[in-house]
Amino acid sequence: MIDLSVIIVNWNTRDLLGRCLESVYHAAGPLKIEVLVVDNGSADGSAAMVRQRFAQTQLIANAENVGFARANNQALAKSRGRYLMLLNSDTLVLGDALQLLVAYMHLHPTVGAAGPRLLNADGSLQASCHPLLTPGREFWRLMFLERVVRRATYAVERWDPVLPREVEVIKGACMVVRRAVLDQVGLLDDRYFMYSEEMDLCYRISQAGWALYWVPQAQVVHYGGVSTRQMADAMYIELYRSKIQFWKKFGGARRARWFKVLIAVAYIPRWALFSIARIFDRTQTERARIYGALLARLHSM
């Protein structure tokens, strides 16, 4: 029986993927693991690197980028582990993080999913979980009120570094899910191309009565945004498309429309401010353009 299936979706991050795979195999310890890499049509030789250096890895090589959720589902369908880890290609697994996460899940049978403490490349703390997205929380964050009162994020920096805590959403950079849970709630919703698919899954897990926990003893470095920076403009639009899609699915069309109104209220002043600023500072042109593109497409999302 395979203890843990580690699933990694890659798009043009060959060097980071190689380091990630090295860290996974090194961290496995006594666990029986299998590693499945889904390459989403990379043009940087990622698939060839996996074949040459990590022959024990199961490689699924897509001809094109089919999206994060769909690619994960391809591997999930082939996986055999009792526990399933979704892991970004731009991560490094530290120490015995895999063993700690699996052990925690094994000792706590009501926990449906768990995530580690995520660290930035310099070792500083990175957000690895957050409250469930609501229109109000998103507006609160966009209006910079989060700096006054925390509503849209957790104060993870104040949490006990060795005490696991129940959370609402685990960041998809690294998440371990019990197979029995996926059998119950289903795979990732592949109608999301990128973003919010992990929030959708976490919400379904919690609605099914399972708990989700942050396990800080397990640590993973997450470089963050390496793939998405390759097409930053499109991904910025996709981020909001996915958030609206989430609320259309779980809150209905009316709440999704209200969400779009709040986004417009927050972004119209931003667009106006940077449109004026670019007259005097051309470096602000790009931001004004992206904000304008978001507002232009908001109605059709």
pLDDT tens digits for range 168-223: 999 999 999 999 999 999 999 999 988 899 999 999 999 999 999 999 999 999 99
Token readout for 20 is 């990630």
Could you tell me the pLDDT band of residue 228, with boundaries at 50, 70 and 90? very low
Alpha-carbon distance 154 to 134, whole Å? Answer: 14
Neighbours of 91 (CB within 10 A): 26
Strands 4-10 and 165-166: unpaired
Could you give the maximum distance between any two Cα atoms of the chain, in Å? 64
Give mean pLDDT, residues 118-122.
95
The CATH architecture that domain 4-228 belongs to is Alpha-Beta Complex (3.90)
For the chain, the domains span 4-228, 251-298
**Structure-model confidence comparison of residues 298 and 32, the more confident one:** 32
The overall average pLDDT reported for the chain is 93
How far is 60 from 86, CA to CA, in rounded Å? 15
Alpha-carbon distance 73 to 8, whole Å?
11
| Cα 66 off chain centre by | 16
Contact status, residue 35 vs residue 6, Cβ threshold 8 Å: yes
pLDDT at 154: 95
